[in-house]
Structure 1
């Protein structure tokens, strides 16, 4: 009887598993940048700011005349090919003065907001982290500063310090401290209760190290937004002080001072005040649009 050949059983077919690629995790800043460039309003604000920076950096090339050169025979000339935006009461080219005035505006915005940010971050961080009587003292001083209108407080400070562009920037910087202090304090109050801060305390890290290396770096998003919005406000306040004669002094081509010098000829030569006013409007609008877009982009609730 012939032997029946034995065949090994074939293993059951295992269905092929499809591997799904895990999405790459992106950081908060990359997500914020992608949302920022997709926003039309913030993109327009960014273009205005970049234009301001380019004009300020290339002022000697962009300007057509010396901003302080006086030509009394060319007083109140209307806009023409020789003077694109006309001339003022001393025959100075308005276009060139506006171009050089962008440097002053950037200087005012950066220095004034820098003063506000440094003092406000320190006060808000200390008040929010340590709390108790330190928080009460700091915040009551902040409340007193916020009780005064900002422009009136700036005028009072400049009146005490003396009328000059430097003192105007110091005054505007002091006036802007409460906004930074309150924002940083509220952020620190929420950040200091997180798990990694508790872990840092558990391993014996000192309070100074926790505050400056762990707490404040996680408050950067609202600080950056507030700084961007404050630059436009600082430029506007400085123009107001210069218009009152408390800021930049002649012959500085500051936009607020140009408005003050040309107000006497508002009806006969409106271009003397129209173009400096338009420059202030565009710069403040640019920083406000960019700041609003940056605030929306850095909002973690919008992250999908």
Structure 2
């Protein structure tokens, strides 16, 4: 006759469950407080509204635009703003309002892709440099110093000249130019975080460098990375518009704001609206991202909390 042994169910540790609940609650509370600080700040709230309008315009561009952005009607060239053409027409009779609306899609594409390139490469280089230090840090930082020695717009022009004028190559060039900012910010944050007690404890229990870096160091560097990414989007849009203004970015007939500025140079005296409205679009979008980035920095900085 076999004897059945019944194993008792393991009793959960109430202290461990309480600790996990407290950690989740603390994290949620911190992000909620940061969001409330952003909303309460007039500057960041205005920037957030501008960004929201930009995103909605890009999504609903076919429904917002009153005309085709590429349709040419020569007989309607250089028409002043009117009920039919809200912001007037350009040298080819294209509706400027519709081209600006569709241009928001290109601007968002430029900002996201360019900053994505900068952030991925810059975070990797900065994390490796700050964490391992020694000769690795020296080599990476000296390369970063060389890149930063060149004016950003001149370096971007040189890269596009090598790669060839196109919107894709302009985004790559702007992304490469933005790498040093991310690398330096992440390196500084990693140097501070890696000296903390919980990182030393992870090393003491035998955790590998990659695990420590990915699970303990970088998560505590997210705040400056997020702020830099937000501020860099506006800069990327501005740099790409500059390249398109010089004929090195988006090519006709794409409705890119920098290219529209370039097309309106010849008619500044007779038809100033051709260049004025695309310039205002660039101004407000860059201003929105900068205002929101400043508010985000203040909200995520624990030293500025009341």
* TM-score, reference length from structure 1: 0.91
Corresponding residue number in structure 2 for 1:235: 237
Distance in 1 separating the partners of 2:36 and 2:55: 23
| Pair 1:262-2:264 in alignment | yes
Corresponding residue number in structure 1 for 2:188: 186
| Pair 1:73-2:75 in alignment | yes
Contact 1:31 1:303 in 2 (8 A): no
Distance in 1 separating the partners of 2:29 and 2:213: 23
Deviations 1:101-152 (A, max 9, x none): 0000000000000000000000000000000000000000000011011000
Corresponding residue number in structure 2 for 1:212: 214
SS in 2 for 1:91: coil
Question: How much has 1:302 moved relative to structure 2?
Answer: 1.9
| Pair 1:274-2:276 in alignment | yes
Corresponding residue number in structure 2 for 1:147: 149
Structure 2: any 5+ residue segments left out of the alignment?
1-24
Corresponding residue number in structure 1 for 2:288: 286
Contact 1:75 1:89 in 2 (8 A): yes
* TM-score, reference length from structure 2: 0.91
Deviations 1:212-252 (A, max 9, x none): 11111110000000000000000000000000000000000
Distance in 2 separating the partners of 1:60 and 1:265: 28
Aligned pairs (5 A) from 1:56-135: 56-135=58-137
Distance in 1 separating the partners of 2:132 and 2:53: 43
Q: CA RMSD in A?
A: 0.9
Bigger CA radius of gyration: 1
State how many pairs are aligned.
281
SS in 2 for 1:27: helix
SS in 2 for 1:249: coil
| Pair 1:172-2:174 in alignment | yes
Distance in 2 separating the partners of 1:222 and 1:27: 19
Deviations 1:72-103 (A, max 9, x none): 00000000010000000000000000000000
Contact 1:200 1:210 in 2 (8 A): yes
Corresponding residue number in structure 2 for 1:299: 301
Contact 1:75 1:91 in 2 (8 A): yes
| Pair 1:203-2:213 in alignment | no
Distance in 1 separating the partners of 2:111 and 2:46: 19
Corresponding residue number in structure 1 for 2:47: 45
Distance in 2 separating the partners of 1:264 and 1:293: 39
SS in 1 for 2:278: helix
